[in-house]
Amino acid sequence: MSSTRTPAQSRPGWLSGGLDIPRLLLEGRAFIALIVITVVFSILSPNYLSVNNLLTMSAHVAVFAILAVGMLMVILNGGIDLSVGSTVGLAGVIAGFLMQGVPVPALGVTLYPPVWVAVLVAVGVGALVGWINGTLVSRFGVAPFVATLGTLYVVRGAALLITGGLTYSNLRGNPALGNTGFDAVGFNRILGVPTGVLVMIVIAGIGSLVLARTAFGRWLYASGGNERAAELSGIPVKKVKVSIYVISGVCAAIAGVIIASELTSANPTTGNSFELTAIAAVVIGGAALSGGRGNIRGVLLGAFVIGFLSDGLVIIGVSEYWQMVFKGAVIVVAVMLNRLEYRSTKVKEVKGAAAPPTKEKMPGDSVNEPVS
């Protein structure tokens, strides 16, 4: 008996009307938005697309992208970290405090640690803040929003106490004391590329490998999608939860050190509201706030969208108040598009699961089969 399949049914989906243009546009919205922003501002300002300006804007984006990578890890797990902005400020203050010299009254001397020690200690403090957040959430069952909101105030207060509300300035160091080179951490350029951008690339590369190629990445997606099912499957959910908050704290500390290095000063109020920008980058990049969906590529695109939009508005002279309005509007639209994308994905998954498998009928499969 000949097959009942038509030529149209035999063609690949993209030839038989399977190419879903609206869905492709929806999934690539962050990239499209970045292209539109670049084109519009390059028309409004002839210097916008200059190499020097692009590198400068990329250096600004790098800080938020590093923060957003850590935030993505937390959001993939279904959590939130509101303390990253305060951690940025504290990390800079710790580095600045060490660069200024650590007095030891018992010995009557002042110690001036080298730059690499100051950086490691600052990053270690960020990891400690993340560990505290993770412990509160995983071991004591405190809601992530509440736990990290409390840590936000504690960490910011600690930074203010250390400095007395003042700013550590002139952190270039002294050659005679062997603590020079701090400004190179964020201000230096390698082959013309700002150090911060290179750090962003390294962190993003490591994050991509962890999420795509390691058991930890699979555990993270699984626990974010369905924590109870992941726990029953033998995944160490609590350890994963603590680890992702530590990663977030480390990323925030690295961003804080880069900012302090670029400015060669450490202000305890640095990083104010940075947590909101990091969350915005993650959301614009297509991650679901409910957890289990998102990737590093999307986060980088989201960070560049925010950074290029902000710098573009500054270049053409738009008021800072209007900049806040535009950023807020972008975030709201991104959340709405995310909801639309995941709703359509869920509908397709449900339809695919509900549809019974089909097969070609053969003679004798049914009593009603016509005899040829």
For residue 139, give the DSSP letter.
T
Q: What is the pLDDT of residue 346?
A: 58
Checking if the pLDDT of 136 tops 90, the result is yes
For residue 291, give the DSSP letter.
S
| Coil vs helix vs strand at 214 | coil
Q: Count other Cβ atoms within 10 Å, centred on residue 219.
A: 20
Predicted confidence (pLDDT) per residue in 8-17, tens digit: 444 444 344 4
Provide the pLDDT confidence category of residue 7 given band limits of 50, 70 and 90. Answer: very low
Checking if the pLDDT of 103 tops 80, the result is yes
Q: What is the mean pLDDT of residues 229-256?
A: 95
Residue 320 or 217, more confident: 217
Checking if the pLDDT of 26 tops 70, the result is no
Q: What is the mean pLDDT of residues 212-228?
A: 93
Q: What is the mean pLDDT of residues 315-342?
A: 83
Provide the pLDDT confidence category of residue 106 given band limits of 50, 70 and 90. Answer: confident
Q: What is the mean pLDDT of residues 268-297?
A: 91
Any residues with CB less than 8 A from the CB of 155 and at least 6 apart, and which? Answer: 83, 86, 87, 89, 90, 129
Checking if the pLDDT of 348 tops 70, the result is no
Of residues 24, 73, 65, 37, the one with CA closest to residue 224 = 73
Checking if the pLDDT of 370 tops 60, the result is no
In whole angstroms, give the CA distance from residue 262 to residue 277.
19
Tokens of 158: 């600690």
Of residues 129, 108, 104, 72, the one with CA closest to residue 253 = 129
Of residues 22, 54, 12, the one with CA closest to residue 37 = 54
Provide the pLDDT confidence category of residue 334 given band limits of 50, 70 and 90. Answer: confident
Checking if the pLDDT of 321 tops 90, the result is no
Tokens of 285: 């990049």
Checking if the pLDDT of 354 tops 70, the result is no
pTM of the model: 0.85
Provide the pLDDT confidence category of residue 1 given band limits of 50, 70 and 90. Answer: very low
Q: Which helix (H) or strand (E) holds 295?
A: none
Q: What is the pLDDT of residue 14?
A: 38
Q: What is the mean pLDDT of residues 347-367?
A: 51
**Cα-trace Rg, the chain:** 26
Of residues 27, 49, 46, the one with CA closest to residue 38 = 49
Provide the pLDDT confidence category of residue 340 given band limits of 50, 70 and 90. Answer: confident
Q: What is the pLDDT of residue 158?
A: 97
Give the end-to-end CA distance of the chain in Å, rounded to a whole number: 8
Q: What is the pLDDT of residue 20?
A: 65
Contact call for residues 200 and 189 (beta carbons, < 8 A):
no
Q: What is the pLDDT of residue 19?
A: 59
Q: Which amino acid is at 346?
A: K
Q: What is the pLDDT of residue 200?
A: 96
Q: What is the mean pLDDT of residues 299-325?
A: 90
Provide the pLDDT confidence category of residue 353 given band limits of 50, 70 and 90. Answer: low
For residue 356, give the DSSP letter.
P
Q: What is the pLDDT of residue 184?
A: 83
Checking if the pLDDT of 53 tops 80, the result is yes
Range among 67-71, 96-100, 333-337 with highest mean pLDDT value: 67-71
Predicted confidence (pLDDT) per residue in 284-310, tens digit: 988 888 888 899 999 999 999 999 999
Residue count of the chain: 372
Phi first, then psi, for residue 104 (nearest 5°) are -120, 90
Provide the pLDDT confidence category of residue 174 given band limits of 50, 70 and 90. Answer: confident
Checking if the pLDDT of 236 tops 50, the result is yes
Q: Where are the beta strands (DSSP E) in 271-366?
A: none
Q: Which helix (H) or strand (E) holds 5?
A: none
Q: What does 330-369 look like in DSSP terms, one character per residue?
A: HHHHHHHHHHHHHHHHHHHHHHHHHSPP-----TTS-TTP
